[in-house]
Amino acid sequence: MRDRSYGQFCGLARAAEVLGQRWTLLVLRDLLLGPHRYSDLQEGLPGIPSNGLARRLKELEADGLVVRELSTGPDRSVRYRASARAEELRPALDALSLWGAEQMREPRPGEILTSAALASALRSGFRWADPAKNSAGTVVYEVRVGDAVAHAVVIDGSVQVAVGTHEDADLRLSGGVAVRDVLAGELDLNEAVESGEITARGDRDLFSRFMATFRVPYRHAAASAGPDSVSR
């Protein structure tokens, strides 16, 4: 195995030794959403070489961040899940996600949005801005952007996000780049729905609550963006 040491007795250096390898943060991003089979991870990380994924999982397991276990389901497949130590990284990864999103506007050529990335954006953008307004029970939001779909369950001052649809969603939103604009606070959700940029199904009284609960601080990048890979 390649030496990852920086030769410094420093917490940041030690963290970089573990987390600084290519694809590592995205593997952890996906596993922090729930256990995955190897094939699930491959599907959610298009572009990662198979031997590269195997190597990263082996390293993360050795570092105590990933646990490999046998599924209790009928398929008895091997699944990978984030360890308790990896769960401690959640706030740091959410902060990095917000920091990276600040200069995003539209996807660069060849970039795609995965369901895990969408779920991560909802979790990192979650804010409990108005406790009184958000205290009325559980609310489930489902968001779809292109082929990516994720949902967020908001309850008691916290949020649980996951990939995929939710059968009991109170509000379902579907759109392209306009979803980014709503999350950035650059576009009012009511206006986006009226213009047809976003399709909404469910309780429209939740529009303002959604906008108050999720906010990703995107900023316009200085360089011009390439062609959309997610249509508006």
Residue 137, domain CATH? 3.30.1050.10
Same domain as 183, residue 128: yes
Contact 124, 118 (CB under 8 A): no
Provide the sign of the torsion angle of the four alpha carbons 12, 58, 4, 8, taken in this order.
positive
Q: Are 141 and 182 in contact (CB under 8 A)?
A: no
Domain boundaries, position 22: 11-85
The sign one gets for the Cα dihedral 73, 76, 77, 83 is positive
Three-state SS at 182: helix
Residues 57 and 120 in one domain: no
- Residue 60 belongs to a domain with what CATH number? 1.10.10.10
Flag whether 207 is in a domain: yes
* Number of neighbouring beta carbons within 10 Å of residue 14: 14
164 in the same domain as 73:
no
Are residue 75 and residue 157 in the same domain, yes or no? no
> What is the predicted pLDDT for the residue at 223?
41
Q: What is the pLDDT along the chain (232 residues), one digit of tens a residue?
A: 457 889 999 999 999 999 999 999 999 999 999 999 999 999 999 999 989 999 999 999 999 999 999 977 777 789 999 999 999 999 999 999 999 988 888 889 999 999 999 999 999 989 855 555 555 689 999 999 999 999 999 988 789 999 999 999 999 999 998 998 998 888 999 999 999 999 999 999 999 999 989 987 666 544 444 444 444 4
With a CB cutoff of 8 Å and minimum separation 6, the contacts of 226 are: 106, 107, 108, 109
Residue 229 lies in a domain: no
Residue 78: partners with Cβ closer than 8 Å, 6 or more residues away: 37, 38, 68, 69, 70, 71
CA–chain centroid gap for 82, Å, is 15
Residues 6+ apart with CB under 8 A from 42: 48, 50, 53
Closest CA to 138 of 159, 123, 121, 122: 159
* Shared-domain flag, residues 103 and 201: yes
Asked if residue 128 belongs to a domain, the reply is yes
Same domain? 109 vs 183: yes
Q: Is residue 232 one of the residues assigned to a domain? A: no
Same domain, yes or no, for 123 and 181? yes
Q: Is residue 129 part of a domain?
A: yes
Tell me if 2 is assigned to some domain: no
Specify the number of domains making up the chain: 2
Residue 35 lies in a domain: yes
Q: How far is the C-alpha of 206 from the C-alpha of 143, rounded, in Å?
A: 13
For residue 93, the SS3 value is helix
b/e sequence 86-110, b meaning 16+ C-beta within 10 Å: beebeeebbeebbeebeebbbbeee
